[in-house]
Amino acid sequence: MTIIDPGSLRGAPCTQAIQRAIDEAAASGGGCVVVPAGEYETAGLVLRSHVELHLEAGALLRFTDDPDAYPVIRTRWEGYEQDSYRPLIYAKGETDVRLTGPGTLEGQGKRWWDAFRADALPAARPCFVCFEDCQRVVMSDFTVQNSPAWTIHPLRCENVSIRGLTVVNPSDSPNTDGIDPESCRNVRISDCHIDVGDDCVAVKAGTEDADVRVPCENVTITGCTMVHGHGGVVLGSEMSGDIRRVAITGCVFDGTDRGVRIKSRRGRGGNVEDVSITGLVMNDVLCPLVVNLMYFCGKDGRTPIVSDPNPQPVTERTPHVRRIRMADIVVTNAKSAAACLCGLPEAPLEDISIVNTQIHLVESEPQVPVMNAVATPVTCAGLRADYVRGLHLSDLRIVGARGEEIMLHDVK
């Protein structure tokens, strides 16, 4: 174990002292580098194999908001390979990488958000923590706040454990997702509290433009609380490499726009399949359960074919969603609609079930329950399903709906 001398961390940025300790530990075969209690200024850090960076209680690392302090690298951002500022904490191709708490990481994101809104950056904003092509990754117990963009981004990693994190970004901060595992295998996210300006947890698998499509599979999300955010747990919309075998259980959502949502669109291809969603409690959400294959945000999302109601030819770029089970869910104060299940006429959703679920609606200003071009603002709408094969509803109670509680169109 190496405990960094607090004297070497104070005053000027402490980047060199921390990075040197990490590199020396890696050169000696690995070890734990401890940041002691205190507040310290730093630029970006690169983690190495078999090294744990541990933040003691009371330790705060404040990362500079000067873009010149971060080199531009080529990496994946929002599903596309592009130039991006290197993440504030980064590792690539490493094994046994650990970042642990209970200290705090401060990203000073405001300058990044303002520059993004002004279109004043020559490259994409950096993620806060990104481990790319790594094996056996552990992140635990720390607080991370004010990220420039996505906060925690494991990319093409295997055997990832994320537990006990507190992730906090302002509700109006752009693209500040909480935890986004992308094209990873064997991911466990547990006991985290996430309060952010975009999706709280978003499971992704790249876009149709990727040279090699890598699935995201074997993912568990348990015991988390999710506050604000556009979605509590989201699968997609970048899912061209397939998202499969996902279990979401024992989570609480409060004030998220949507609860659990699966989203994609024509042209993206890929499958979302074998998903279990159980034991959730939600309050103050627009629409608790969403499956949407006409998602219109991002690159090419507004092209006419995305929302065309006419059947299109089925190709390798047709997305498919199948075998989704939602059960034992309690929702209070849902504002817009109870649920929206939106397949495609040429690719209906397959084998969708909602079991032992109560959804209580409350009057509000009409808003769109699902983000596509055909949705209209509503309040207190029931469950609407379009283009589904194998829809199973059992012990489903919808309270407070205006008009029909269940509305089906081309459903079997």
Tell me the pTM.
0.96
List the domains of the chain with CATH numbers.
2-411 (2.160.20.10)
pLDDT tens track, the chain, 412 positions: 676 656 666 666 799 999 999 999 999 999 999 999 999 999 999 999 999 999 999 999 999 999 999 999 999 877 788 899 999 999 999 999 999 999 999 999 999 999 999 999 999 999 999 999 999 999 999 999 999 999 999 999 999 999 999 999 999 999 999 999 999 999 999 999 999 999 999 999 998 887 778 999 999 999 999 999 899 999 999 999 999 999 999 999 999 999 999 999 999 999 999 999 999 999 999 999 999 999 998 888 889 999 999 999 999 999 999 999 999 999 999 999 999 999 999 999 999 999 999 999 999 999 999 999 889 999 999 999 999 999 999 999 999 999 999 999 999 9
CB-based burial of residue 62 (10 Å sphere; 0-12 exposed, 13-18 middle, 19+ buried)? middle
CB-based burial of residue 369 (10 Å sphere; 0-12 exposed, 13-18 middle, 19+ buried)? buried
Closest C-alpha among 258, 232, 52 to residue 139 = 52
CB-based burial of residue 17 (10 Å sphere; 0-12 exposed, 13-18 middle, 19+ buried)? buried
Closest C-alpha among 10, 68, 12, 11 to residue 44 = 68
List the beta bridge partners of residue 396. Answer: 357
Identified catalytic residue from 177, 195, 198, 257: 198
**Does the active-site annotation cover 198?**
yes
Q: How many CB atoms neighbour CB 254 within 10 A?
A: 18
CB 244 within 8 A of CB 271: yes
Q: How far is residue 137's CA from residue 159's CA, in Å, rounded to a whole number? A: 6
